[in-house]
């Protein structure tokens, strides 16, 4: 029995081996669980990180392989909702475009320190009236601080850090070439309505929402316009002229490649110009063009089979008395001159005698058919109205050599185009013509051939008045005109209308200078001789300028026109 009790006591007091082993095992199990949880989190983060890398990799591959544009210009323009179409030249060069601009406005309720605000404005914009701004701030009404601000002003205002300054977006019309097309393109008002030039004439077409993304194309050539503008500007300095103009016209379809009138102005400045010196001299100016008209008289005489180019007009007097007027030539000519010599030498009396052969009725009919005394039919509202006159005594005689009759330079140039293109009267245009047009005939094709030959001789013959335009390779022909300003007899108007290449004319170029002076320091290359200018006639200034222009634009035109290029190469070879 004792043994049994003894064993019982032993069992009670003895520590269990298995119990100790259980505790140790339990501790290890908890540590293992924490370790496994930590590893699971690492795996999860790694998986998420790897997933992000995988997603971005797929996106990068997709963007690089697809044609998707990060900046879609078309969508951007659609969001911008353009109010007017772009205007471009015949080569797609941008002339006018709407862009997002800003007005700087002020909300007085958001200006905390008015004195500090006014001080900042005074320092950064001294041209603004601080007193007016102060009154507007005190009135506590929303007002415009500055309209049509540029990027520089926008950044200056933004840097002021004033919450009260609000940039109000609007669409502004910008003209990429400043003053280069000022007399043609025109301007728009603050509401994007055309107020002058092409912008006004084609206002409806330019605001057509269905054509917003299709540029409006003109016939003008920016490169040629720049060259002519540059040469004409130089001529105003060289000859100290008050103004000048030039027009380059395609004689076969009437497309205007260039139209320059000086002085011009920057149409981006939106100036309200009232000075008449800024008018479009080519389309709105009305002038007596002088001897330019002699070509019309000779063409009429030839077309009515009254004479031919070789017909000799005998016993030409030095002067002729007509009513109470005495008409004479500025220099002495031979008593006998052929019809072509009358035009080559530019004889007033010889032309007068031809006009008398033609008669008043036929001359009236020519003027009516040619629209010489009507406003130009052109895509501009800035056009002139030639002055009406009565066919009284001596009017036929004076009109024959361009005295006592007015017209616009663009009308005169378009008639010259008809005289050399086979006799078809063309209509000048600033937009390309897409359909076949029926031309009105002014003279016969055979007469046109005779006129081309005579105009070429005006430039090449010894006694011709336009020798300075004889630029090698371009077969230039033309006629000069020296007259007095219609409303100011003390000032000259010197004009030269040229055509080239003469055998198969493609272009007519008008150059006109208002009241030019003798360029005493200018050295002319006159038929191989170096001489100084001493005379103030079209042959010594307008012709000189036209020659310089043709010399520079000729290569551009030759490249674009295979026929013209053929004549250029042929003459260079000869």
pLDDT, tens only, 55-93: 888 888 877 776 544 444 444 444 568 889 999 999 999
**Residue 500 · residue 485 · CB < 8 Å:** no
- Would you say residue 147 has pLDDT above 90? no
**Residue 186 · residue 175 · CB < 8 Å:** no
The mean pLDDT of 491-506, rounded to a whole number, is 94
Q: pLDDT confidence of 269, banded at 50, 70, 90?
A: confident
How distant is the alpha carbon of residue 223 from its chain centre?
Answer: 10
The mean pLDDT of 468-496, rounded to a whole number, is 87
Q: Which of 235, 307, 117 is nearest to 514 (CA)?
A: 235
pLDDT, tens only, 524-555: 887 778 888 778 899 999 999 999 999 999 99
Q: Which of 173, 169, 165 is nearest to 192 (CA)?
A: 173
**Residue 479 · residue 455 · CB < 8 Å:** yes
| H/E segment holding residue 497 | strand 488-500
**Residue 51 in tokens:** 């997933």
- Would you say residue 7 has pLDDT above 70? no
**Residue 403 · residue 325 · CB < 8 Å:** no
What whole-number distance in Å separates Cα of residue 571 and Cα of residue 566? 9
The CATH number fitting domain 77-218, selected from 3.30.70.370, 3.40.50.10540, 1.25.40.10, 3.90.1310.10 = 3.90.1310.10
Let me know how many helices (H) and strands (E) the chain has, helices first: 19, 18
2's torsion region: left (phi>0), alpha (psi -120 to 50) or beta? Answer: alpha
**Residue 411 in tokens:** 């009308």
C-beta atoms surrounding 293 within 10 Å: 26
**Residue 322 · residue 397 · CB < 8 Å:** yes
What whole-number distance in Å separates Cα of residue 27 and Cα of residue 37? 16
**Residue 243 · residue 207 · CB < 8 Å:** no
Alpha helices in 239-274, H assignment, sequence order: none
Residue 236 forms beta bridges with which residues? none
**Residue 411 · residue 377 · CB < 8 Å:** no
**Residue 420 in tokens:** 């050399």
How distant is the alpha carbon of residue 140 from its chain centre?
Answer: 45
pLDDT, tens only, 352-385: 999 999 999 999 999 999 999 999 999 999 999 9
What whole-number distance in Å separates Cα of residue 96 and Cα of residue 50? 52
- The fold of the 232-265+281-573 domain, in CATH, is Beta-lactamase (3.40.710)
Task: Give domain limits for the chain.
Answer: 77-218, 232-265+281-573
Cα torsion angle, 252, 253, 254, 260, sign: negative
What whole-number distance in Å separates Cα of residue 104 and Cα of residue 131? 18
| Strand 256-262 with 216-217, pairing | unpaired
What whole-number distance in Å separates Cα of residue 419 and Cα of residue 441? 10
| Strand 243-250 with 507-514, pairing | antiparallel
| H/E segment holding residue 95 | strand 94-106
Among residues of the chain, what percentage have pLDDT more than 70? 86
Radius of gyration of the chain (CA): 41
Q: Which of 423, 420, 410 is nearest to 378 (CA)?
A: 410
C-beta atoms surrounding 280 within 10 Å: 25
pLDDT at residue number 338: 96
pLDDT at residue number 73: 43
The pTM of the full predicted model, rounded to 2 decimals, is 0.80
pLDDT, tens only, 113-136: 999 999 999 999 999 999 999 999
What whole-number distance in Å separates Cα of residue 421 and Cα of residue 423? 6
Local structure of residue 282 (DSSP, 8 states): T
| H/E segment holding residue 529 | strand 529-532
Q: What are phi and psi of 446, to 5 degrees?
A: -65, -40
Q: Quick check: helix, strand or coil at residue 14?
A: coil
What whole-number distance in Å separates Cα of residue 540 and Cα of residue 531? 11
């Amino acid at each position: 029995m004792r043994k049994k009790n003894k064993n019982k006591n032993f069992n009670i007091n003895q520590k269990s081996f298995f119990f100790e082993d259980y505790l140790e095992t339990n501790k290890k199990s908890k540590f293992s669980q924490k370790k496994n949880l930590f590893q699971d989190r690492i795996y999860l983060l790694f998986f998420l990180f790897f997933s992000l890398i995988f997603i971005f990799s797929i996106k990068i591959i997709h963007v690089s392989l697809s044609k998707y544009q990060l900046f879609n210009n078309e969508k951007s323009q659609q969001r911008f909702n353009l109010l007017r179409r772009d205007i471009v030249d015949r080569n797609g060069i941008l002339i006018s475009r709407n862009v997002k601009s800003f007005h700087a406005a002020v909300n007085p309720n958001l200006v905390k320190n008015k004195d500090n605000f006014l001080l900042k404005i005074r320092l950064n914009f001294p041209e603004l009236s601080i007193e007016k701004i102060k009154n507007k701030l005190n009135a506590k009404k929303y007002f415009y601080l500055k309209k049509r601000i540029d990027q520089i002003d926008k950044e200056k205002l933004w840097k002021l850090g004033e919450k009260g300054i609000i940039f109000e977006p609007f669409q502004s019309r910008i003209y990429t070439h400043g003053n280069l097309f000022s007399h043609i393109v025109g301007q728009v008002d603050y509401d994007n309505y055309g107020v002058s030039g092409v912008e006004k004439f084609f206002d409806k077409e330019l605001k057509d929402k269905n054509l917003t993304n299709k540029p409006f194309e003109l016939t003008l050539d920016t490169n040629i316009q720049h060259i002519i503008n540059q040469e004409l500007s130089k001529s105003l300095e060289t000859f100290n002229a008050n103004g000048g103009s030039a027009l380059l016209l395609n004689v076969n379809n009437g497309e205007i490649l260039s139209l320059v009138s000086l002085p011009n102005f920057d149409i981006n400045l939106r100036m309200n110009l009232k000075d008449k010196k800024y008018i479009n001299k080519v389309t709105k100016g009305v002038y007596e063009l002088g001897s330019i008209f002699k070509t019309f008289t000779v063409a009429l005489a030839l077309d009515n089979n009254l004479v031919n180019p070789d017909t000799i007009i005998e016993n030409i007097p030095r002067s002729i008395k007509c009513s109470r007027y005495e008409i004479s030539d500025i220099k002495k000519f031979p008593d006998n001159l052929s019809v072509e010599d009358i035009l080559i030498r530019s004889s007033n009396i010889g032309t007068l005698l031809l006009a008398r052969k033609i008669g008043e009725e036929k001359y009236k009919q020519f003027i009516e058919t040619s629209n010489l005394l009507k406003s130009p039919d052109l895509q501009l509202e800035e056009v002139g109205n030639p002055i009406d006159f009565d066919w009284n005594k001596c009017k036929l005689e004076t009109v024959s050599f361009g005295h006592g009759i007015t017209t616009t330079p663009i009308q005169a140039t378009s008639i010259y185009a008809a005289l050399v293109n086979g006799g078809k009267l063309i209509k000048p245009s600033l937009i390309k013509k897409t359909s076949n047009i029926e031309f009105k005939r002014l003279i016969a094709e055979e007469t046109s051939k005779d006129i081309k030959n005579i105009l070429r001789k005006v430039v090449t013959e010894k006694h011709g008045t336009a020798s300075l335009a004889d630029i090698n390779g371009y077969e230039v022909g033309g006629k000069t005109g020296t007259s007095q300003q219609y409303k100011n007899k003390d000032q000259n108007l010197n004009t030269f209308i040229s055509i080239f290449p003469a055998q198969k004319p493609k272009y007519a170029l008008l150059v006109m200078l208002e009241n030019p002076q003798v360029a005493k320091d200018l050295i002319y290359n006159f038929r191989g001789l170096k001489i100084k200018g001493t005379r103030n006639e079209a042959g010594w200034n307008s012709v000189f300028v036209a020659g310089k222009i043709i010399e520079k634009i000729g290569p551009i035109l030759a490249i674009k026109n295979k026929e013209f290029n053929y004549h250029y190469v042929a003459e260079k070879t000869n």
